[in-house]
Structure 1
């Protein structure tokens, strides 16, 4: 009997010692987890400054800085249809680098490039879908058309003589216009640029006849009369442009085209950190000031969960794989 009691005492004492030895390590680990981020977070934007990506990224970064307790700074790194920044993010091991995911980089590039130095599914983790941005179809103010029907008639009368610009092969603007060409049967030449900013410079100067651009980047130019919006890619008319019909209204039922932007992280980032950023994104996209700023530029804030964003990316990849194949889109 006494021997049994002594055994129990020994076991209990040993267990207490083991627990006391492990506890500091557990507390240290928990503290390290709670302390993240320990330095500013770099948000890579895989495009040149001046487009919708800039507006969405900076709106999110400002609010995330508050919720995470560290500065989130935006770094534009354009090139190779966004693949340069994507490769850098995928290879990052500092635990403080994320990237602005986009319809082009996440849902199109995997199908227009024969080989990429990264895998969008294996090398990245989804964080949150930030916003959807309506695609607007515009022409230079000197082009003699007032709406999409007149533009189609002009393009058919001058096949291959009109051109449109985009932020680059595989960019949202490229996809949007190729989608329009497929729906309408017109032939308009594509002129790729390195970013929305350079493209807009030539569009405003009259060196391009047309383009499809995210609403935030060009709404001011439309209201100033420098560009003419001939149709929107949305399901319904935009409150900011109530007199402009949608492509669907213009004789092509079911047509819809919007850009989208989310946040993605390298695959090595702990899920706890991913979830914390996602929570911050949800708060950011619900913040009254950020929401007003985005909606003022026609961007539609979302801020969903990693699982919801992952499902959305899958759906978009299926959709645009077909468009890429039919339009025979190839990289520069």
Structure 2
């Protein structure tokens, strides 16, 4: 009897061991555990080249590509305030397509478009907040103003004469300038573009008077004298621009405006891949190389968890919803 029980137990153990070995060696099991990513990862940037978004995306992609097992390449897909790229990535099922989330696509578009082709909460999984970028208020050097106080006075003395450009309706630059107009009680015409790059070209050519843009895309032009920075949107002065006072310092207490960028994946992506992606993205965002690269361009690297990033997005949505309603910001054609 004892002999039979022992033999049966041994057979069961042998079968269980054999089954476990077969499972571990099966292609689907091993691929799910170890083979992702199996091809280069595509990081979609929903804006035209030349802005802060591209600088942040390339910094992260370059570092992640060193450790995640495949290269990560940046793919710019501008249009419709980022909605075209967001919809494309939301529908992606290849497990290798990611997107650069942004204050505009995640916290603004839900409140300015009557109907979105994507749901920021349901269609995407937040991975990590990569960077916060200070907004700078700049003017063309020919404009006869040296600081924000003079700019506001000039705008009030010349109502409707000044214009400002942005990367598009509902973009961070649009929000930043409407916020400034609101607190300063000025009327300045908005001229939307398809991306920061083409807008800056016209600003430096003198076809625009002013803009609010993320610091990384502007510093080189400010230092070269092609643009004049009249204020920073940060709570304290920037070490890279120590002589430029903040908006708050120039008479608008409590004013602060930064834009932000985070890594997002389609919500359909396998959890094991999400977990690996989160680990690698956080390590890259917190790395000295990325920190140094972003700080050179006045951007702050973050690299938080996906739970923290999700909570941050909700807070930003709650912050900007009333600003958008008050400024009556609408997308083109609506």
One fold, TM greater than 0.5? Answer: yes
Q: Secondary structure at the match of 1:44?
A: strand
Query: Where does 1:150-229 land on structure 2 (aligned, <5 Å)?
Result: 150-229=150-229
Contact 1:278 1:304 in 2 (8 A): no
Contact 1:278 1:303 in 2 (8 A): no
The aligned residue for residue 24 of structure 1 is 22
Q: Which runs of 5+ in 2 are unaligned?
A: none
Q: Secondary structure at the match of 1:38?
A: coil
The aligned residue for residue 232 of structure 1 is 232
1:326 matched to 2:334? The reply is no
The aligned residue for residue 80 of structure 2 is 80
1:159 CA displacement: 1.5
Contact 1:138 1:211 in 2 (8 A): yes
- For residues 323 and 20 of structure 1, what CA distance do their matches in structure 2 show? 63
- For residues 37 and 170 of structure 2, what CA distance do their matches in structure 1 show? 34
- For residues 33 and 315 of structure 1, what CA distance do their matches in structure 2 show? 35
1:31 CA displacement: 4.8
1:328 CA displacement: 0.8
- For residues 10 and 124 of structure 2, what CA distance do their matches in structure 1 show? 46
The aligned residue for residue 43 of structure 1 is 43
Bigger drift between 77-86 and 263-272 goes to 263-272
Q: Which runs of 5+ in 1 are unaligned?
A: none
Contact 1:131 1:260 in 2 (8 A): yes
Bigger drift between 29-38 and 195-204 goes to 29-38
Alignment TM-score, normalising by the size of structure 2: 0.95
- For residues 190 and 211 of structure 2, what CA distance do their matches in structure 1 show? 9
CA-to-partner distance for each residue in 1:123-165, whole Å, 9 max, x for gaps? Answer: 0000111011100000000110011011111111112221100
- For residues 325 and 11 of structure 1, what CA distance do their matches in structure 2 show? 71
1:288 CA displacement: 2.3
Bigger drift between 13-22 and 172-181 goes to 13-22
User: Size of the alignment, in residue pairs?
Assistant: 330
1:252 matched to 2:252? The reply is yes
1:19 CA displacement: 4.2
1:65 matched to 2:65? The reply is yes
Contact 1:275 1:306 in 2 (8 A): no
The aligned residue for residue 115 of structure 1 is 115
